[in-house]
């Protein structure tokens, strides 16, 4: 490989939302590239026009940006090995497919969809539920192996719709060393003659992935385990076109399991957790699938959690920044066994990250969430203070709405029922006096406020503890939040007095 530089790729098909497994693939490739001073490439595999979805590529770009795992080369960024969108590389693939036909490793197949269906139906049995186009069958079909050469020429000249299929050799053991699974081998007799070039002249994934990995000088290909069964086809193509010694090292990442087998988009809806990185609206049905971002995850927590879905550091430490992951990540520690996705654990990662983040760093995402909920955020200084007072209580960024919203908006309703049994004329009087006394106090003075409150309570012969609970409900609406005098001194005297008067009004009205 040119100057031995590590080059890895994330090669998604733009067909819809980006599943967390896809982000994990991108992340592991990214970490590996950064660790080795290599390049991380985004290649858009859009050769299947029937599955193409408008907007899906932009969505992938946005997800990678949000996660902070941006590619060095991509359709958006460009680079020396472009274009990075396979649909724009179309002419290149046909040439290689024809080369394979010439060298006898592939052949033209003219079977119509109807003929293919008939073949499948006639061979279908319990033992063979989905018959393949393979060495048993190819001799009975309409292709350049069975038709006379003149007939093939004529069909090609007439532009008869056709595909190019790989000719899988019989009785071969196709072997390779997977960086995660170790030695893997396949019996060529059970591999089918996959289509390489489709009737529309577009390559299939199998052909395009090999050619592009070669032309883009990819050194390592980490991808999901679902692609392991396709590797024999890829290895043969490498052998026929470029030589296996030039092949990237493969690493197939473990499956991700949900509560019931392989984690699927449907699991998200069923169990109420996000599966996609960001919100995705289906272009046909409009159905919205929630993303981790919108659910209130910090990108740092999301990628920290993903790093652990298939890998661990070998120590008890679980919280790592992206920079630490770059240093520590190792393919040797990626395990073969499927990784179980646990939403509670994912939330734990987020909670830890919120706790450890500076309030200043949380301002931007919290502001966005508050905007969505029409909560005004006042000054940056005030918002920062409130975030630092409440972040320990938030698991998701969206929790700030409940945990911090009352610092910006007077609660519309208060927990009257908790106050009611404790409410009396004396307490009403106490709060009326206390609210007036506040007017003479300087703002933001926690200790003076607490001192005054307790002193006035003692003077009236009421236990301050009982009053504090009422005071809290008047300010917050509920029995929650940081210290009540911290809340009051943050709200300021005018707002505190206003909420007290409102509380007194509600409580006295209840007694009428």
- Active site members: 265
Smallest distance from the beta carbon of 237 to ligand GLU, in angstroms?
A: 12
Among left, alpha and beta (phi > 0; psi -120 to 50; other), residue 6 is: beta
Instruction: Give the burial class of 220: count Cβ atoms within 10 A of its Cβ; 0-12 exposed, 13-18 middle, 19 or more buried.
Output: buried
Binding region for ligand GLU (CB under 6 A) out of 5-13, 260-268, 286-294, 487-495: 5-13
Phi and psi dihedrals of 332, rounded to 5?
A: -60, -30
Told to check if 404 binds ligand GLU by CB under 6 A, we report no
| Cβ neighbours for 361, distance < 8 A, ≥ 6 positions apart | none
Q: Based on CB atoms, which residue is closest to ligand GLU, 23 or 106? A: 23
Rounded Cα gap, residues 373 and 322, in angstroms: 31
Q: Based on CB atoms, which residue is closest to ligand GLU, 12 or 254? A: 12
- Using an 8 Å Cβ cutoff, are 194 and 206 in contact? yes
Q: Based on CB atoms, which residue is closest to ligand GLU, 21 or 296? A: 21
Told to check if 13 binds ligand GLU by CB under 6 A, we report yes
Smallest distance from the beta carbon of 293 to ligand GLU, in angstroms?
A: 21
Binding region for ligand GLU (CB under 6 A) out of 11-19, 107-115, 123-131, 463-471: 11-19
Smallest distance from the beta carbon of 248 to ligand GLU, in angstroms?
A: 10
| Cβ neighbours for 181, distance < 8 A, ≥ 6 positions apart | 228, 252, 336
Smallest distance from the beta carbon of 250 to ligand GLU, in angstroms?
A: 9
Phi and psi dihedrals of 445, rounded to 5?
A: -120, 85
Told to check if 251 binds ligand GLU by CB under 6 A, we report no
Spell out, one character per residue from 21 to 60, where the chain touches ligand GLU: x when CB under 6 A holds, - when not: ------------------------x---------------
Told to check if 12 binds ligand GLU by CB under 6 A, we report yes
Told to check if 11 binds ligand GLU by CB under 6 A, we report yes
Told to check if 17 binds ligand GLU by CB under 6 A, we report no
Q: Does residue 83 have a cis bond before it (omega within 30 degrees)?
A: yes
| Structure-token match 């020396």, residue found | 80
| Structure-token match 């052998």, residue found | 239
Instruction: Give the burial class of 157: count Cβ atoms within 10 A of its Cβ; 0-12 exposed, 13-18 middle, 19 or more buried.
Output: exposed
Spell out, one character per residue from 134 to 173, where the chain touches ligand GLU: x when CB under 6 A holds, - when not: ----------------------------------------
Told to check if 227 binds ligand GLU by CB under 6 A, we report yes
Q: Based on CB atoms, which residue is closest to ligand GLU, 24 or 138? A: 24
Which residue(s) pair with 197 in the sheet? 164, 203
Q: Based on CB atoms, which residue is closest to ligand GLU, 42 or 100? A: 42
CB-CB neighbours of 297 under 10 Å:
27
Write out the H or E segment, with its range, that includes residue 177: strand 173-178
The binder of ligand GLU chosen from 69, 164, 209, 362 (CB under 6 A): 209
Rounded Cα gap, residues 56 and 74, in angstroms: 15
Q: Based on CB atoms, which residue is closest to ligand GLU, 45 or 450? A: 45
Rounded Cα gap, residues 473 and 130, in angstroms: 66
Binding region for ligand GLU (CB under 6 A) out of 8-16, 305-313, 373-381, 410-418: 8-16
| Cβ neighbours for 372, distance < 8 A, ≥ 6 positions apart | none
Q: Based on CB atoms, which residue is closest to ligand GLU, 41 or 346? A: 41
DSSP helix/strand/coil, 136: coil
Q: Based on CB atoms, which residue is closest to ligand GLU, 209 or 475? A: 209
**Inter-helix orientation angle 493-511/425-438, to 10°:** 160
Told to check if 223 binds ligand GLU by CB under 6 A, we report yes
Binding region for ligand GLU (CB under 6 A) out of 7-15, 344-352, 371-379, 436-444: 7-15
- Using an 8 Å Cβ cutoff, are 280 and 291 in contact? yes
Q: Based on CB atoms, which residue is closest to ligand GLU, 209 or 334? A: 209
- Using an 8 Å Cβ cutoff, are 508 and 420 in contact? no
Smallest distance from the beta carbon of 223 to ligand GLU, in angstroms?
A: 3
Told to check if 348 binds ligand GLU by CB under 6 A, we report no
Smallest distance from the beta carbon of 363 to ligand GLU, in angstroms?
A: 36
Residues near ligand GLU (CB under 6 A), total: 8
Smallest distance from the beta carbon of 65 to ligand GLU, in angstroms?
A: 19
Query: For 128-142, b where at least 16 C-beta lie within 10 A, e where not — what string?
Result: eeebbbbbeebeebb
Smallest distance from the beta carbon of 48 to ligand GLU, in angstroms?
A: 9
Chain positions contacting ligand GLU, by CB under 6 A: 11-13, 45, 205, 209, 223, 227
């Amino acid at each position: 490989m040119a100057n031995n530089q590590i080059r890895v790729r994330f090669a998604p098909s733009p067909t819809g939302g980006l599943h967390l497994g896809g982000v994990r693939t991108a992340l592991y490739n990214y970490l590996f590239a950064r660790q080795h001073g290599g390049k991380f490439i985004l290649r858009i595999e859009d050769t299947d026009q029937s599955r193409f979805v408008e907007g899906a590529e932009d969505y992938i770009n946005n997800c990678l940006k949000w996660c902070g795992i941006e590619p060095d080369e991509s359709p958006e960024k460009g680079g020396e090995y472009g274009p990075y969108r396979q649909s724009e590389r179309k002419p290149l693939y046909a040439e290689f497919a024809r080369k394979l036909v010439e060298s006898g490793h592939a052949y033209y197949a003219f079977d119509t969809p109807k003929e293919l269906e008939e073949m499948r139906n006639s061979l279908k049995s319990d033992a063979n539920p989905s018959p393949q186009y393979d060495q048993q069958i190819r001799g009975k079909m309409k292709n350049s192996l069975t038709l006379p050469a003149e007939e093939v020429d004529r069909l090609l000249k007439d532009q008869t719709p056709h595909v190019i299929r790989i000719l899988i050799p019989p009785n071969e053991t196709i072997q390779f060393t997977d960086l995660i699974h170790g030695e893997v081998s396949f019996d060529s007799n059970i591999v089918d003659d996959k289509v390489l070039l489709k009737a529309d002249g577009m390559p299939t994934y199998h052909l395009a992935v090999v050619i592009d990995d070669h032309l883009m000088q990819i050194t390592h290909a980490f991808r999901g385990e679902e692609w392991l069964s396709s590797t024999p086809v890829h290895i043969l193509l490498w052998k026929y076109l470029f030589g296996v010694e030039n092949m990237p090292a493969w690493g197939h990442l473990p499956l991700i399991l949900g509560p019931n087998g392989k984690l699927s988009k449907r699991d998200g809806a069923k169990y109420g957790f996000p599966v996609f990185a960001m919100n995705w609206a289906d272009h046909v049905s409009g159905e919205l699938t929630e993303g981790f971002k919108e659910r209130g995850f910090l990108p740092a927590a999301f990628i920290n959690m993903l790093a652990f879905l298939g890998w661990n550091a070998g120590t008890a430490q679980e919280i790592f920044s992206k920079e630490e992951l770059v240093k520590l990540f190792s393919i040797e520690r990626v395990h073969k066994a499927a990784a179980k996705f646990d939403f509670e654990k994912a939330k734990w990662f987020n909670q830890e990250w919120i706790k450890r983040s500076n309030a200043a760093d949380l301002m931007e995402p919290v502001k966005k969430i508050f905007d969505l909920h029409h909560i005004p955020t006042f000054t940056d200084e005030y918002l920062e203070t409130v975030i630092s007072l409440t972040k320990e209580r938030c698991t998701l960024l969206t929790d700030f709405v409940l945990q911090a919203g009352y610092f910006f908006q007077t609660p519309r309703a208060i927990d009257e029922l908790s106050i009611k049994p404790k409410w009396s004329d004396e307490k009403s009087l106490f709060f009326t006096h206390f609210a007036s006394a506040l007017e003479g106090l300087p703002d933001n003075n926690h200790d003076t406020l607490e001192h005054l409150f307790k002193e006035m309570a003692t003077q009236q012969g009421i236990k301050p503890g009982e009053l504090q609970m009422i005071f809290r409900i008047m300010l917050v609406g509920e029995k929650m939040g940081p210290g009540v005098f911290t809340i009051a001194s943050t709200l300021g005297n005018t707002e505190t007095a206003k909420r007290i008067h409102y509380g007194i009004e509600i409580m006295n009205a209840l007694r009428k």
